[in-house]
Structure 1
Amino acid sequence: MPHIVQFSAPKLVELVECEQQTLAPGTVRIRTWYSGISAGTELTAYRGSNPYLSKSWDVAQRLFTEGAPAFSYPVAGWGYSEVGEVIEVADDVDDLAPGDVVYGIWGHRSEAVLPAPAVSGRQIPEGTEPLHGIFARVGAIALNAVLGANLHLGEDLAVFGQGVIGLLATRLADLSGTRVIAVDGFEARRELAVRMGAHDVVAADTPGGAGRQIRLLTDYQGVDTAIELSGNYRALHEAVRSVGTDGRVIAAGFYQGGGEHLLLGEEFHHNRVQIIASQIGGTPAHLGARWTPARLVTVFMDQLAAGRVDVAPLISDVLDASDVAEAFRRLDEGAPQTLQTVLRFEGAPA
């Protein structure tokens, strides 16, 4: 029987059996090799803080409303960073074949049946380590934030939060010709940010606040733009403090609860700061229809295949899928050495 990761209750996650899906016309069956865990979105399901668990998302109004929650425990099938081998194709599928190794989104499950277009053209590039394909989605999220910042050659950018997506954003911004100042509370992550292209690093708990330290580094002018990826309201406030007058802050973290530490009557108000949301469901409006979420993935994977982005240092834990409880426990503890955690399913290369 196939297996799937299930959040059975807050702080309780397990690998359970599930029904095998039927191969229908136009579909392919994929045996999962690797599945990356999102330390942001998925921890909210693990901890029970995700808004979908307490409210209903009204698609027509695009509002969260009170009433029956959109999801309730047990919740199965989360995950959006998968790599696997095509093992069966429907008779009418001619652009994929058994043996193809593809990346995509099908959740933490040992196998999946997907419409062929969902993974068509998403074969792992030749010469690329298959495990690295799990970064396609998180790389797209980082790229979306960087594009939202509307960077220009010679500008200064602060990136708050040097987790996996923050480190990728640091690298992509450096490739864009921007001077990056990386902010994080852990020294090990600040050191890794330098390897990813940061020109300066700032401790999140620096006296007077990271925003003030960034102003010192920029002769009190502030950075042109800041990207906040930690999902921490205090960090978002410091990002606001770090930008110059009429500066932009790209809020790309998944913020939970109320913003007690986001003080909008201070620098936000007096420096006329813009706070712009970045979310992978759409691309920055100023780019128009030319950019789509699918293009974000393609562009990021092209950078990875060309060797301009090295994701190997970001992989901290590769655990068997049966050890999923331990994987989430480590992520929940938030140790500085824990970055990208990957579940390895049976049949993956040794």
Structure 2
Amino acid sequence: MSSKTYTATAVIAHAAGDLRVETIEVPMPATEQAQVAIAYGGICGSDLHYFSHGAAGESILKAPMVLGHEIVGTITVAAADGTGPPVGAKVAVHPGTPGGTGARYPLERPNLSPGCTYLGSAARFPHTEGAFATRVNLPARMLRELPAGLSLRDAALAEPAAVAWHAVSRAGEVAGKRVLVIGAGPIGALAVAVLKRAGAAEIIAVDMFDKPLRIAAAAGATATLKADDTESIAAVQADVVIEASGNHRGLASAVRGAMRAGRIVMVGLLPSGEQPALISLAITRELELIGSFRFNDEIDQVLGALADGSLDLGGIVTHEFDVHDALEAFTTARDSATSGKVLLRF
């Protein structure tokens, strides 16, 4: 195999507030890897945490790291072992690698494996490099060839939409039900779109700001409420609540807004450590509090639904920036009052 290396433009977090667009070397891929020319990358909340704080929860930057795991692109070098898509194929990426031993978990739910790694994560050292670069090498098993007719731009939200799809699946049957979505940021808005496709009769979105609520309404919310209107939220009495704010106040609103015996799916990741919660109400109302973390194979269902038009994600992307303007892109994405999902163009 050729030892040829390529150069790529990458977005690298060095420390809190220190984000740089730099040139990196990309070697020829290993036997089980393909090389991908990245077209679009979506800025995720974890990327923003590394940018703003130098850490995402307990995952602390100890060395410069390429960010990014929400990516789509085109195969430029196919995997030499014959696995994966051919050169020229347009692909989305499943950024997780299950693994690890010790903690028990259901084998059919590899997202819960104790050693699961994700592209662009500082959870381990050396860090797992991300894919915000014009050219990257990725394991062929991560690659999902796009269905015919689905463009890279339209597939750019496949990864975060899979997170929302997994969360909605954790809620059980939602057709004909009243659903409350707390937090109308990108994951909340994507959950609204997935809920609409799944046949929810009412979808009430809650947020602090007008812009996310407008995005949620365009995605399929039948009503919107401001986060400080606690009386109206409590009056919703939803069959199902999707908590996507990642804030203990949002979780409190979820508990208050659920009907008795309702189900609350917690997809917004709260800070580590103890958090205040209305546990007494959860007990006396027999509420079901259910966690939702990343996803498994839901990205395949998302791609199919995008291709057949049954999942409409129009309006959720509010900004696109060239990779060289990554700092402006991250600054924009950090302001949830004025932006939804922000994409980088590579």
Note if contact 2:35-2:76 (Cα within 8 Å) is conserved in structure 1.
yes
Match of 2:211 among 185, 188, 200: 188
Number of aligned positions between the proteins: 303
Aligned equivalents of 1:264, 1:173: Cα separation in 2:
26
| 1:145-184 to 2 correspondences below 5 Å | 145-178=167-200, 179-184=202-207
Is the alpha carbon distance of 1:147 and 1:184 closer, same or farther for their aligned partners in structure 2, counting shifts above 3 Å? same
| 3-state SS of paired residue (2:34) | strand
Structure 1's unaligned 5+ residue stretches are 54-70, 282-292, 346-350
**2:68 maps to 1:79:** yes
**2:20 maps to 1:29:** no
Is the alpha carbon distance of 1:95 and 1:267 closer, same or farther for their aligned partners in structure 2, counting shifts above 3 Å? closer
Is the alpha carbon distance of 1:228 and 1:73 closer, same or farther for their aligned partners in structure 2, counting shifts above 3 Å? same
Note if contact 2:193-2:313 (Cα within 8 Å) is conserved in structure 1.
no
In structure 2, the residue matched to 1:317 is 319
Worse overlay, 127-136 or 186-195 = 186-195
Note if contact 2:31-2:79 (Cα within 8 Å) is conserved in structure 1.
yes
**2:73 maps to 1:88:** no
| 1:114 Cα deviation from its structure 2 partner | 2.1
| 1:257 Cα deviation from its structure 2 partner | 5.0
Amino acid at match of 2:301: V
Aligned equivalents of 1:91, 1:145: Cα separation in 2:
36
In structure 2, the residue matched to 1:239 is 254
| 3-state SS of paired residue (1:18) | strand
Once superposed, what is the RMSD of the aligned Cα atoms?
2.1
Structure 2's unaligned 5+ residue stretches are 1-6, 96-129
In structure 2, the residue matched to 1:213 is 232
| 1:259 Cα deviation from its structure 2 partner | 6.0
In structure 2, the residue matched to 1:14 is 20
| 3-state SS of paired residue (2:153) | helix
Amino acid at match of 1:132: D
Between Structure 1 and Structure 2, which shows a larger proportion of strand residues?
Answer: 2
In structure 2, the residue matched to 1:267 is 281
Aligned equivalents of 2:271, 2:238: Cα separation in 1:
26
Note if contact 2:209-2:337 (Cα within 8 Å) is conserved in structure 1.
no
Match of 1:297 among 296, 299, 302: 299
| 1:117 Cα deviation from its structure 2 partner | 2.7
| 3-state SS of paired residue (1:280) | coil
In structure 2, the residue matched to 1:280 is 294
Is the alpha carbon distance of 1:152 and 1:333 closer, same or farther for their aligned partners in structure 2, counting shifts above 3 Å? closer
Q: Give TM-score scaled by structure 1 length.
A: 0.80
| 1:216 Cα deviation from its structure 2 partner | 3.1
Note if contact 1:158-1:227 (Cα within 8 Å) is conserved in structure 2.
yes
Aligned equivalents of 2:19, 2:172: Cα separation in 1:
39
Note if contact 1:43-1:332 (Cα within 8 Å) is conserved in structure 2.
yes
Aligned equivalents of 1:22, 1:189: Cα separation in 2:
42
Superposed CA offset, 1:244-292 (max 9, x none): 22222111012125566x34355234323222110015xxxxxxxxxxx
Superposed CA offset, 1:13-37 (max 9, x none): 1122223123232332111111111
Q: Give TM-score scaled by structure 2 length.
A: 0.81
| 1:144 Cα deviation from its structure 2 partner | 0.7
Identity of aligned residues (%): 26
Note if contact 1:314-1:340 (Cα within 8 Å) is conserved in structure 2.
yes
